[in-house]
Structure 1
Amino acid sequence: HKYSLCQAFARAQRNGEMIAMFKEDHWCFEPVVGLGLAERSEFFLEGHHRYPDSVRDLKAAAEWCRNMPHLPYDEYKGMVCAPAHSCNFMPDVITMHVNGMQTSQLLIVKTWIDGKDVRSQLSGHAVCVYATVPAFLKRECTVAIPCKGDRRLASAQDDEIMFTLIPEMLPDFIEGIQWLQKHNWGIPMIQEYKEEYDLKPKYRDLGERLGMDMKQSPPRSQKLQKH
């Protein structure tokens, strides 16, 4: 039987399976094009599979198709995915479904490593491509949004985002997670709705340097809130 790539990722993530896929194993063509297993034909580049179902006109459909990330044609024959804890080969990328809070923390760790923000190409389509190909080509982290197929056919949840890092950054990520946890920048993130909350000393210092009033206001009387 054939699978969509998002389904293969889901089986690896949720069932602990290692799955190899070549062109003949794919059911959805977008990762076949994105991974360079087939040529970006003129028919594809003209946007015919997007128009009229999900794009307002053929010009816009062609714009999306021409900008979809892709690997060079015929440079790779297939791909293998496996869960991180049992992977017996060095992967090209590490991708995971995480929630919004976990995404925030991973982005904080990334900034801890090199001070650079993650700049991603976002789309509501083909998350299997957007989560892997840019990170593979640029050797950098990326964030991608689960597509309709990932949600409908591979059980991606409403609160999930895909975060991808490259294996050579994993030691730095582990070090960053541990360091931030020790310095009150880890998880869980405590939620509080408090005016003039306690600031970290360096936040207060920089605010003062910018001419901000960083002194806490005197207490004010509290009144019963009528409902």
Structure 2
Amino acid sequence: MYKVEDIHDLSKRLCKTVGLPYSPVAIRVYENDTELPSNVMRPYQDKGIHYGYCQAVSLVKTKGATIALSKEDHWCWKPLMAFGLVDVERNTDVYKIILRNCGIACPDRADYFFQNKFPMMSRNDNRIIVMGPLDKVEFIPDVILAYCDSSIQIRDMIAGIKRRTGKLVESEFDYMDSCVFSFMPTHFERKFHVTFPDPGETGRACCGENEVILSIPIENLEMLVEECEAKKRHAQGRTLKQDGTIKPDFPRPQFYNELFEKWGLMTGEVSWTEEQRGYKI
């Protein structure tokens, strides 16, 4: 596994290669406070204030803060449930309030969703979520959140994932609870995941309305960086330029012509060859 110095280097390389607007956010869950990094800020204990989970993420992104959220620090309800910090037993008054406010009109369907689709950790009142900027972090994270402000950034990372693993990035999308779904599927299933920031994150945490989150398992960070760097190198000789016009019969890669010829269709001008692509499949 990585050393923190390796993680700092990989973070900087990923930001430079993909063009990320912020250092990715590193997140690790501690079961108690006996091993917390020395540089963490604990909102209620240190300042007598509370943050929403998404607000803490934003402070990490934009200010480079390292923040530890224990049960007493939270000011939003979903992370308390997802991280196992409160009781959510079925057929209680608490549960009735939850079902009324999970965005599903039918009570039975709301119950099914919460029981089968809402990921939660086991109960532990002492659990603490620590988050910090990946390029300066003093701990080994479990999950990394890369916030993209361009579809091209997340597209390029997904391309690297597919090329190395042969798999597509699969995600289920909700309009709310980005705090939960940007972390839990990757934490539990060790897979990449795409999440849209929810209304609370854009409304309370200053998250840009065009931002999208790619969640990265820590064990796949180096692979992702290497593939993104390779893609950038290979693309230099075959760039596509957008000039605001739609042009028919545009120049195409040579293999297009090879396929079209075999299919009995017309060929045309070549833009690049497979040798110019820079790698062989």
TM-score normalised to structure 2 length: 0.69
* 1:154 CA drift (Å): 0.5
> Quick check: 1:45–1:65 contact (8 Å CA) kept in 2?
no
**Secondary structure at 1:87 match in 2:** coil
Aligned mates of 2:138, 2:180 — CA distance in 1: 23
* 1:75 CA drift (Å): 9.2
> Could you list the per-position Cα deviations for residues 109-159 of structure 1 after superposition, in whole angstroms to 9, with x for gaps in the alignment?
111221110111211111011000100111111001111110100111121
Equivalent in the alignment of 1:65: 114
Alignment of 1:83 with 2:133, yes or no, is yes
Alignment of 1:136 with 2:184, yes or no, is no
> Quick check: 1:105–1:186 contact (8 Å CA) kept in 2?
no
Equivalent in the alignment of 2:46: none
Equivalent in the alignment of 1:41: 89
Report matched runs for 1:109-188 at 5 Å.
109-184=160-235
Paired residue total: 216
How many percent of aligned residue pairs carry the same amino acid?
23
Aligned mates of 1:157, 1:47 — CA distance in 2: 33
Aligned mates of 1:189, 1:160 — CA distance in 2: 24
Where in structure 2 are there 5+ consecutive unaligned residues? 1-48, 270-281
Equivalent in the alignment of 2:44: none
> Quick check: 1:20–1:78 contact (8 Å CA) kept in 2?
yes
Where in structure 1 are there 5+ consecutive unaligned residues? 218-227
* 1:169 CA drift (Å): 1.2
**Secondary structure at 2:69 match in 1:** strand
Tell which has more relative contact order, 1 or 2 (C-alpha 8 A, sep 6+).
Answer: 2
Stretch of structure 1 that moved more, 47-56 or 168-177? 47-56
The letter of the residue matching 2:114 is: C
Stretch of structure 1 that moved more, 188-197 or 95-104? 188-197
Aligned mates of 2:101, 2:198 — CA distance in 1: 18
Equivalent in the alignment of 1:223: none
The correspondence for 2:124, drawn from 71, 74, 93, is: 74
Q: What's the Cα RMSD here?
A: 2.8
Alignment of 1:103 with 2:154, yes or no, is yes
Equivalent in the alignment of 2:51: 3
TM-score normalised to structure 1 length: 0.83
Alignment of 1:197 with 2:279, yes or no, is no
